[in-house]
Amino acid sequence: MIGFLDQLGTIVDALLAFVPRPEVVRATHKAVKFKWGKARIVEPGWRWWWPLTTEMDTHVVVSQPLELPPQTVMTACGKPVTVGGVALYRVVDLRSYAVENYDADEAMAEVAGSAVRDVVVGKTLEELQEADGRKAANKTLLSTAQRELERYGVEVEYFKLTDLSTTKVISLIGQTQSTVVDED
């Protein structure tokens, strides 16, 4: 009996592929409509699409956070630190973000993480710990991230270092482990 119901469900799904479906694209989103393999950007509103020939992917395009996990980096003075960051961005070119990029979220995290690394590597620990140095590092981080992430269809509105602590790096046979050290 269960096998019969599974088959009936498969048949109903196949038949529904011939029926157009409504889709509401919210004001905070845009969508990419793939029809016969070609992409078209869909603005917010009430939209109809045919499941037989079309796929519809919606994406948030308003300001949203990107939290970067902590990473261990060596400063310009040779001290290892664990540093993390947070960015606020919005999608300005959905085609570049969702069509010309396989995994936009992963790519953004990687590019933003490398921007954090590049900024921290160029500063000493003392510069990163003092207020003016931290402010300068955040300003450099924002401009670097804006420049690097522009090609992904993203506009970075805010980017700051959130975590900064000295670390001890211990190398174990073939593995590296870092430990956060509080120096008071």
Higher pLDDT, 26 or 183: 26
The CATH number linked to 133 is 3.30.479.30
87 lies in the same domain as 128 = yes
Largest Cα separation within the chain, whole Å, is 72
Tokens of 152: 């992904």
C-alpha angle 65/68/72, rounded to 5°? 165
Amino acid 183: pLDDT: 54
Altogether, the residues listed in the chain come to a count of: 184
23 lies in the same domain as 74 = no
Higher pLDDT, 167 or 142: 142
28 lies in the same domain as 110 = no
From 11, 29, 56, the end of a domain falls on 56
What separation in angstroms does the CA of 47 have from each of 4, 60, 136, 159?
34, 17, 46, 35
pLDDT tens digits, one per residue of 54-79? 999 999 999 999 999 999 999 999 99
Q: Residue 174: pLDDT above 70?
A: no
51 lies in the same domain as 69 = no
Q: Residue 47: pLDDT above 80?
A: yes
52 lies in the same domain as 90 = no
Amino acid 11: pLDDT: 85
Q: How far apart are CA 161 and CA 159, in angstroms?
A: 7
How many structural domains compose the chain?
2
Give how far the C-alpha of residue 39 lies from the chain's centroid of Cα atoms, to the nearest Å. 21
Amino acid 4: pLDDT: 81
Amino acid 14: pLDDT: 79
Helix axes 131-149, 104-121, angle to 10 degrees: 140
Confidence tier at 182 by pLDDT (50, 70, 90):
low
What separation in angstroms does the CA of 149 have from each of 96, 100, 104, 123, 142?
11, 13, 10, 22, 10
The residues pairing with 56 across neighbouring beta strands, listed in sequence order, are 33
Amino acid 12: pLDDT: 83
Count other C-beta atoms under 10 Å from residue 30's C-beta: 22
Q: Which domain holds residue 144?
A: 64-180
29 lies in the same domain as 90 = no
Amino acid 116: pLDDT: 93
Amino acid 184: pLDDT: 46
109 lies in the same domain as 68 = yes
- The alpha-helical segments, DSSP class H, found in 84-149 are 94, 104-121, 125-129, 131-149
pLDDT tens digits, one per residue of 100-132? 988 998 999 999 999 999 999 999 999 888 889
Contact of 128 with 134, CB cutoff 8 Å: yes
| Mean pLDDT score of the chain | 88
Contact of 143 with 94, CB cutoff 8 Å: no
Contact of 33 with 40, CB cutoff 8 Å: yes
52 lies in the same domain as 72 = no
> What backbone phi and psi angles, to 5 degrees, belong to 72?
-95, 125
